[in-house]
Amino acid sequence: MIVGSVSEDKNFEKRVALTPDIIKKYNSIGLKVHLSQNYASHLGINDIEYEREGAIFFKNYDEVIKSSNAILQINILSDENLNKLSQKQILVGILNPYSNEKKLKEISSKNIDCFSLELLPRITRAQSMDILSSQANLAGYKAVVDSFSYFQKAIPMMMTAAGTISAAKVLVVGAGVAGLQAVATAKRMGAIVFATDVRLASKEQVESLGGKFLTIEGSENLETEGGYAKETSEEFKIKQENLLKETLKKIDIVICTALIPGKKAPIIIKKEMIDVMQSGSVIYDLAASQGGNSELTKVNEVIDSNGVKILGEENILNKLPVSASNLYSKNVFNYIDNLFDKEKKTFEINLEDEIINRTKVK
């Protein structure tokens, strides 16, 4: 049996689904690896590094796709390459079934099994496969580093003979994996950090990292059984807006990370809130690709609103592609290891397995 992967469109995606160190793991469970030429050369990883571990390269994508039982990608294949898939093949990646519903239904109807890794259940057994956590961790870190580079003051408190420089105040909106990493990174760099989230369970996690949790009076725990945030009521939104508007008057940097799976990102930072922020402040919106948590966010643009800079990258992980690829490739291997029956030497689509059932695009 063979797993294969072709290069992503490098204009939009610099990560790769397989790194050299993971090839021998595939070989060890009885799987060969086929890749397209110059697969990760843009990351400074030559094909020879893969070949040393046992990967086989092909000049064009057709050969890789046609020869592979399972295709492992970051994102869904292009329309041209999707049409090259045939019956009984498997496609694994971040397939975004909400946006690509029509495409996925079409290829599933051809008896092609599609597995979307962002649908993984939040259970202990799936932690080693959790691509959302591994990638969000890096995104939270990078958002803080990038926002600090736009902030034109020192971050930690500094006491000098000429006077004292106050520490920067950072607010993290959404205390999931990305948000908690943002809290930890900002705190390590000397900032005073606040965080808010609709899930009350986040309070203890934020405080354990040295952050101060902003609680809305009378709020309930808005958390799904899967550990994600629910949509809030109108009453909650009004209370949240009032709290944020007062808080933002003294905040220097805001990191937005609030997302609801499969839906447009909630608008949390409205224009009238941005208007009360100090000139020179920075908002980094990690939810930009899903509409943004800030009302003024525009993807891949730096917006200046009365001196407040608002940033939103479509794919911030393109700025950390090597680290992101290393973690993603390990997640994907762990998923394939669960999907592949090592005794029968075949892929076993066991829908009684919660991991396989939940990730299979139906």
pLDDT score, position 99: 87
Catalytic residue set: 122, 127, 130, 133, 228
pLDDT score, position 222: 54
Answer whether 0.85 is exceeded by the pTM: yes
pLDDT score, position 199: 82
pLDDT score, position 288: 95
φ, ψ at 92 (rounded to 5°):
-125, 135
Least confident of 129-133, 264-268, 301-305: 264-268
Query: From 2.30.40.10, 3.90.226.10, 3.40.50.720, 3.90.1150.10, which CATH number describes the 136-318 domain?
Result: 3.40.50.720
pLDDT at 198 over 90: no
pLDDT at 212 over 80: yes
pLDDT score, position 155: 97
pLDDT score, position 225: 54
Mean of per-residue pLDDT scores for the chain:
93
pLDDT score, position 140: 97
pLDDT score, position 231: 59
Q: What is the residue extent of each domain of the chain? A: 2-119+320-353, 136-318
pLDDT at 230 over 90: no
CATH class name, domain 2-119+320-353: alpha beta
- Residue 130 and residue 327: Cα distance in Å, rounded? 10
Going by pLDDT thresholds of 50, 70 and 90, the confidence category of residue 28 is very high
pLDDT score, position 219: 55
pLDDT at 224 over 70: no
